Amino acid sequence: MTIVFKVSENIKEKMIHYYKNLVREKTPPYAIFQAQEADTIITLYESGKVMFQGISADVDANIWIDLEKKLNNRIIDIKTGKNKIKENNKRHEYDMYNTIGSDEVGTGDYFGPIVVTATFVSKDKQNFLNSLNVGDSKKINDETINKIAPQIMNEIPYSIFVLNNEDYNNKYSDDLNMNKIKAILHNKALLTMVNKNLNYDKIIVDQFTPPTKYYEYLKDIKNKINNITFTPKAEDKCLSVACASIISRYIFLKEIAKISNLINEEVPKGAGENVDKFGKKLVEKFGKDILKKVAKLNFKNTEKIKKI
């Protein structure tokens, strides 16, 4: 059995130290060392590639593969020697920085509030968050969200702003559309975090509108955050945005549960046909004014419910 993969610099140093008393006298060309442990021959090359040969090659290789995952967040396929999850590299694009990130939930849901959260993730918290498989909340089921969000909230600083539907309906207009509302809430959440005097390197926001438009929405806001890096799908690239996404989803689910308890029926998420049918039953039971409290009236669902 032969297993080959490239090791990180910090792992290379540990290998050299670990095998120093097992090194063979003759070293192959371009190799730093060749060692033998029981039935396995280990060769570490100057390029950083390491080769394990022998009956127990997989056992010895897995020791270092596990260490790569623990120390460097690398998931190596033992068969190919390549990183298993390419998306993992994209998600960690900003892991070299201490970041403040923000994200929102609820803007595409007819029922339930808009929740915007900003979080601060320092580099020393990254291993903990990776152990929870933190990522985009849209790719995580609600049961897992309810499990990991409290753990995240216990470990990192955050700020949350919730806009309930009654306030949303009172504020919404041609001059104050959804994106402007989101920009204002993001700015509030980010400003709260910046005022905590955290040792951050970058501020990352999941881009929902062009940067020039974002700042245009905030032109009348006295205190605003300007040094923002906007990036699409930031939840997959930055842990602070991913954490913000998860916490926002967690709060959104709790608010949806309150509405469900109020009417003794589970409230559907999104804005599909099932939402229209549920809205009809809701109006029949409580009257049309109930929608002002629990729904976003500017959605097309309102007209559909009236027609039904």
Mean pLDDT check: name the lowest of 1-5, 67-71, 158-162, 267-271.
67-71
Looking at residue 87, its pLDDT comes to 43
The dotted CATH code for 99-259 is 3.30.420.10
Average pLDDT over residues 264-292: 90
Element of type H or E holding 39 = none
Q: Tell me what the pLDDT averaged over the chain comes to.
A: 89
d(CA 308, CA 297): 16
Provide mean pLDDT across the span 165-174: 88
Least confident of 4-18, 130-144, 192-206, 233-247: 130-144
Residue 78: the pLDDT is 79
**In this structure, are residues 98 and 151 in contact, taking their beta carbons and an 8 Å threshold?**
no
- Residue pLDDT, tens place only, 82-106: 876 544 444 467 888 999 999 999 9
The pLDDT tens digits for 60-87 are 888 898 888 888 777 888 778 887 654 4
| Sequence-ordered list of residues with C-beta below 8 angstroms from that of 226, at least 6 positions apart, any chain | 215
Q: Please determine, for residue 236, whether its predicted confidence score (pLDDT) is greater than 90.
A: no
The yes-or-no verdict on residue 233 having pLDDT over 90 is no
Domain 2-84 top-level CATH class: alpha beta
**pLDDT(120) > 90:** yes
Q: Which residue has the tokens 């001059």?
A: 175
Residues in the chain: 308
